[in-house]
Amino acid sequence: MKGVTLIGDRELLIKEYPNPKPGPGQAVVKMKVSTICGSDLHIYRLTKEEMKKRPQVIAGHEPCGIVYEVGENVTNVKPCDRVSVLHAIGCGYCDECVKGYDYRCRNMPTIDGRPWWTGQTGNKDGGFADYLLVPSRGCLPLPEELSFTDGAIMACAGGTAYEVLKKLAVSSRDILAIYGLGPVGLCAVMIGKGLGADVIGVDLVGERLELGLKIGVDKVINAKGVNVLEEMKALTKGESPDAAVDFSGSNIARTNAINCVRFGGRVGLIGHGDVELPIRPSDLISRDITIRGSPIFKTDTYFEMANFLVKQKISLEKTVTHRFALEEAAEAFRLFDSGRTGKVAFVWGL
């Protein structure tokens, strides 16, 4: 089978790997769609020297496909089942896994070489390949009403967006400000609209602002050269948003997200950034603000999200702007690295 490995300095290799065989409790999934995540770019941009400290594995953690083969003692899936693959597959036995927090598991056989909050680095092959070997408990049923592209996006970007809006209890009573209209932010736009909120999108990139409007943002703010807080006040007629989420990782955007919400507002932080963010506790107290971090999503959230998307007739596939065959991975990564696209997908059978 063919697979894509990131090797540093914005380079990658497409090469042949042995087809995986499932052992007890494992399943092999034949890929149909696998999408590129913004966190893939963090590895893509590392130097070759930095990559020497990481395992050389097949990249990709937003996979979706059809179960091809299962090993012994697998009862939850069978060949030909349509599945989205959970990218944070915990051991299944520790207290965090039992509570549904697979991503907190310290015994997690993580995929695709990314470092995790638990301190581990993924040492299993990921989904940018023709076949993917995973513990079968990571295979989540994909409803017939949803496409393979939906399933791939749900595996990380969509689930992450859904989880933070769930934590912030976003509803039809809310004005929701979304900072950063990259793929995860765009998923949040669609989910936020499905929850009934009025959505204001903020970004610096014209292409992404246009895409936000296309998929349902009520109003947009181009943050380039304007006072975003003043613009937000004007668009809400002085009311201010009830909730805000930053998907960009920019400290300016994070600060604006915190400062833009009304008294009693809720703020979610998703975008990764290494710069410290000064927050004054007195501001949180006097304005009664709640700030939530949210890394990805609980395992059981997937089922709630799938049901929500089906009932609301929402397809996250609308966030995809470009599709490539796996053999075109170098071009796909170069384009996604430009920061001017929506979701970029590898599709088998193009």
User: What pLDDT does 54 receive?
Assistant: 81
Mean pLDDT of 104-128: 66
Could you read off the pLDDT of 72-115 as tens digits, one per residue? 999 999 999 999 999 888 888 899 889 888 888 887 656 655 55
Nearest to 51 by CA among 116, 6, 103, 97: 6
The pTM for the full model equals 0.93
Q: Which two tokens stand for residue 9?
A: 């300095």
Q: Which two tokens stand for residue 22?
A: 């499932």
User: What pLDDT does 70 receive?
Assistant: 97
> Can you list the alpha helix ranges (DSSP code H) found in 200-328?
206-215, 228-235, 251-260, 281-287, 301-312
User: Are 1 and 17 spatial neighbours (Cβ–Cβ below 8 Å)?
Assistant: yes
Could you read off the pLDDT of 265-323 as tens digits, one per residue? 999 999 777 677 888 888 889 999 999 998 889 899 999 999 999 999 999 999 999 99
Could you read off the pLDDT of 145-173 as tens digits, one per residue? 999 999 999 999 999 999 999 999 999 99
Mean pLDDT of the chain, nearest integer: 92
Length of the chain in terms of residues written: 350
CB atoms within 10 A of CB 238: 9
User: Are 82 and 142 spatial neighbours (Cβ–Cβ below 8 Å)?
Assistant: yes
Mean pLDDT of 208-229: 95
Domains of the chain: 2-142+315-347 (3.90.180.10), 162-293 (3.40.50.720)
Q: How far apart are CA 326 and CA 47, in angstroms?
A: 23
User: Are 324 and 345 spatial neighbours (Cβ–Cβ below 8 Å)?
Assistant: yes
Maximum distance among all Cα pairs of the chain, rounded to whole angstroms: 62
User: What pLDDT does 193 receive?
Assistant: 97
By the 10 Å C-beta count (0-12 exposed, 13-18 middle, 19+ buried), 313 is classed as exposed
